[in-house]
Amino acid sequence: MANESIDVTESVLFYLGLAKYISTRGTCPTKQVGAVIVDEGLNIVLSTGLNDAPRGLQRCGAECQNRTIGENSKSCQAIHAEMNAILNAARVGIPITKATMYVTISPCLNCARAIIQSGISAVYASSMSPYEKALDILKQAGVKTAIVSGVSLPRVIMPPWMTSEDTSG
């Protein structure tokens, strides 16, 4: 996924770092992925997603622990982060047309199709997946794409009441 006319700004690094942070909450034992959908004009987060089972369903179990990515996917309950972010926005009626998606790994073919169909106009990823065809169809559909390496987790400062340490003195 070549960097095609997309500037790597501080906000790009922030949102990729946020996607990385969100990925740490994923329950898929095979791959933790995070996605953030942003309205660039308003500079606000519209939706987020992570690799996780659908609401109300049991999360992946032992059968997923040792599987190779892309194999035996019939036993996996997880929804990919990109699809989860798109569906979360749809669930509450948030339009994501012309939005930008930030994701920790470039999308698979099914997620690329959903990105195109939902009207997302750009995708930034902090690492490359093995799904070359997904990148091809994103480009064919006019979705701008970029891989931005070297993204670290944003520093999160927790308020004292959210930490495990008692700071009341």
Active site residues: 82
Q: Tell me which DSSP letter residue 165 carries.
A: S
Nearest to 118 by CA among 145, 91, 83, 92: 83
Distance CA(98)–CA(1), nearest Å, equals 19
Q: Give the C-alpha separation, 112 to 138, whole Å.
A: 6
Greatest alpha-carbon pair distance for the chain in Å reads: 60
In whole angstroms, what is the distance from residue 78 CA to residue 60 CA?
Answer: 7
Contact 77, 60 (CB under 8 A): yes
